[in-house]
């Protein structure tokens, strides 16, 4: 057996072994493990109540949610999460996000850690 063929076989076996062992140790991607932010997709009135919900967020020291401008991607408001409530029908853990105090019209999204809501508007329409 020549040297080139031997290196090819050793390399091939190493690549298979590496792929096998890395697959054994891989963690499945689960976006639900990050928590889901549920908003009113129609939008909110500037002077009306503005509530959203954080569903099944992992236990974390992070207790604040950011309201982020959709255009500039800058945080414009920070609010604390409400207490966790369990929904018996779905077994979900739900936390209220209340950003009623913010009254500036525009397009925004909510951000909690790596979780992000869909964009929504605050305005008179």
Task: Note the pLDDT tens digit of each residue in 32-73.
Answer: 556 899 999 899 999 999 999 999 987 766 789 999 999 999
Domain at 31-122: CATH architecture: Sandwich (2.60)
Phi-psi category of 35—alpha, beta or left, where left has phi over 0 and alpha has psi -120 to 50?
left
Per the model's pLDDT, the better-predicted residue between 108 and 15 turns out to be: 108
Query: Residue 106, class by beta-carbon neighbours within 10 Å (0-12 exposed, 13-18 middle, 19+ buried)?
Result: middle
- Distance of CA 98 to CAs 8, 17, 86, 113, 125, Å? 61, 51, 18, 17, 21
Rounded CA separation 92/63 (Å):
18
Domain edges within the chain: 31-122
Taking the model in full, what pTM does it have?
Answer: 0.71
pLDDT at 18: 65
Residue 123 three-state SS: coil
pLDDT at 72: 96
* Rounded average pLDDT over 20-43: 68
pLDDT at 23: 54
């Amino acid at each position: 057996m020549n040297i080139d063929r031997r290196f090819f076989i050793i390399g091939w076996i190493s690549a298979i072994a590496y792929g096998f062992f890395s697959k054994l140790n891989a963690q499945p991607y689960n976006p639900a493990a990050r928590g889901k932010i549920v908003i009113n997709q129609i939008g909110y009135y500037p002077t009306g109540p503005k509530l959203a919900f954080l569903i099944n967020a992992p236990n974390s020291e992070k207790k604040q949610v950011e309201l982020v401008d959709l255009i500039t991607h800058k945080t414009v408001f920070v609010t604390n999460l409400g207490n966790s409530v369990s929904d018996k029908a779905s077994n979900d853990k739900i936390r209220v996000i209340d950003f009623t105090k913010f009254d500036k019209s525009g397009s925004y999204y909510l951000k909690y850690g790596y979780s992000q809501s869909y964009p929504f508007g605050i305005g008179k329409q």
